[in-house]
Chain A
Amino acid sequence: METTHSLSFFLTLPLFGMVLALLVPKGVQRIYSIFASILFFALTLYEASGILFAGSARLAESLVVEHHLAWLPEIGVRLSLRLDSISAWFVLLNSLVAVIAFSAKGVWYRKYPRLFSALGFFLVFALNAAFMSTDLVVFYLAYEAVFIPMILMVGIWGENQKATAVFRFFLMSFLGSIMMLVSIFYLISIQMKSASGVSPHVADLATTVKGLQGSEAMWVFMGFFLAFAIKVPLVPFHSWLKDVYTFAPMPATIWMSAMLSKLGVIGMIRFVEPIFAGVLPQIQGLLMTLAAISVVYAAMLALKSDRPKSLLAYSSISHLGFVMLGVFTLQGQGNSSAVLLSVGHTLTSALLFFLLHKVEEGQEQLDLSSPHGLASDHPILFTSLFIAVLASVSLPGTINFAGEFLVLLHSYPVSVLCTGIAGLGVVLGAAYMLKFYQQMGFGSLSMGNSDETAKTRDLGGYELVLVFWLLAAVIFCGFQTSIFLKGN
């Protein structure tokens, strides 16, 4: 493990992109953003490819890079970044999702385009900081910092009923994060009284938690759990999601679905599991049940959705329930399968939202209770959408299948019941996704309202290339899962 300075490039480049976005003239904003984000993706791929595509786990371990920068010595906080096999995936996905989000055309490139691109790059910066940090205070700061661009994006460019949605999203998530902050402060205040001083790093915090008496550790864990359960989200805490996704501008929805939810996942894997290793087994059953319930409950709600964006929003919750099921197995292999499924979920949901955006193309949202018959006029678009739908349904050969299969495989020994319930979710997933596809694509044009969709155009040019490579990645990763699960 070397200590080099190359990791700061993941943070400084997006900031640089943000500054440039404010200077670039309005007309070329979309081209600039796409170009800059593709460039960043290429560089990220180059830097991270060593770890990501290493042949064995041992080789990957040896390539892990850590980077410590003294930031606030007075309070023991260091800017500690770590690129290992988990964070490398999320960092890579972060840059890829930026490409997808910036590629969506819409009102955000006509009204305050500079602000939009700048917010997007800032978001990429904050997400990278959160995914890579191993210092809990830095993680918290990055985690909170993600709110600001998100709220502004939804609020400024969203659709009409966005205000309630934004407030609900912000206040619920903020409540969770504040409770996590209280837990962090509690641990730090205990560390302050001890001889070794304050050190918000995973290993030291784990030691602190071991020293806590009785149910104190459980309460401190609750603070963290509340924050991540709201973020991912897990079912009792999901109420904020549907409205925000529905009324947000599409790039914001793509970012929220693809990346923000993963903040909760990485928080659990990187911080909660090591620090609260003693507490978690006591409530593992409850956690797994919550995850399984999420899968089925959200799928049920997706079934009755009649707006495509709401349907995809609930579908997102359902798949994330699967991811958390993998995380809550509390084993390394369970975590790896959860990461695999996260990657799959990111790719497929970004694809689905992007393609949906292409179908709706800035018009009113389609109503799924009547068919729209768009497929015959837009064959390439709907073929791509079909492959994306199949991926979302976890057809074998796609990355989602590999992820879900492995998650179920690892959760079976822990709880057969939860595995069964979650498996039910796969069936329901097929039901609502196929309904989604059928209503949008088939039936004759005269059955639906053709005025609604008059402006829809088929995929062409750059967008076609982008979608093609994404679909290829989805299928490739479905077969080549060895890049995720390395043997020794």
Chain B
Amino acid sequence: MLAISAMLTAYYMTRLYLLVFFGESRLSQKEKAHLHESPWIMTLPLGILGIASLAGGWFGAPVALEHGHETGALNVSEGVIMGVSVLIALAGAFVAHRKYSGTIQGESPRDPFKVDAFYLSFFGKGTRRVSAFFGRVIEDGFFGRMMQFSGAAVDLGGNLLRTLQTGSAQGYLLMMVLAVAALMCWVFLGVH
């Protein structure tokens, strides 16, 4: 598995290198006029990193080659492993070189296993749909309506009760007498 990905890595890095720095330019006239070498403040760190990358690759090598340790599963010496991985990388680079030096021919398929499309539709659109649902149905629909409802209910209750206040003294007297009579009935029929 790792060997395959190493080959693919070499393939696409070579492709990148060849397409970007060699071959025909796709820039417009105006853009070409803007091209320039990067300033030293960018180039210097890049240079240091480049040297470091090379150096890092050489760190373990002399020791391994000297001592020739036996390694894990395949019972092969480290020197052989190093050799094999270099060969894999060169193979990938060679294939890319064959394909891309010169003109651009065909493009690699963009989304071969449709992973991106699935991801976008399931997680991306899905999340958006769920949040729209939460927003419209629950937040505005349920909670919002509950707020309006409770406010309207109290208002309605107040206005209903207000109608009892008719302004006529006889009406008040009648209601008071009814209330007293009701309390009396409750008292004397309910208890004892």
Contact = CB atoms under 8 A, between A and B. Distances in A.
Interface of A: 168, 236, 239, 297, 300-301, 303-304, 428, 431
A304 B144 contact: no
A239 B143 contact: yes
B134 A297 contact: yes
B99 interface: no
Nearest to B124: A431
* A interface, over-half SS: helix
A236 B135 CA distance: 13
B134 A168 contact: no
Interface of B: 127-128, 130-132, 134-135, 138-139, 143-144, 146-147
Nearest to B133: A300
Nearest to B131: A300
Given A428-B127, A431-B127, A304 B147 contact: no
Contacts of A428: 127
Nearest to B138: A297
A168 B131 contact: no
Contacts of B131: 300-301, 303-304
A300 B129 CA distance: 10
Contact of A168 (B127, B138, B147): B147
Contacts of A301: 131, 134-135, 139
A300 B147 contact: no
Contacts of B130: 300
A290 to B, nearest CB: 15
A25 to B, nearest CB: 43
Contacts of A304: 128, 131-132, 134-135
B144 A239 contact: yes
A312 to B, nearest CB: 16
Nearest to A431: B127
Contacts of A168: 147
Given A297-B138, A301-B139, A304-B132, 16 more contacts: A168-B147, A236-B143, A239-B139, A239-B143, A239-B144, A239-B147, A297-B134, A300-B130, A300-B134, A301-B134, A301-B135, A303-B128, A303-B131, A304-B128, A304-B134, A304-B135
Contacts of A300: 127, 130-131, 134-135
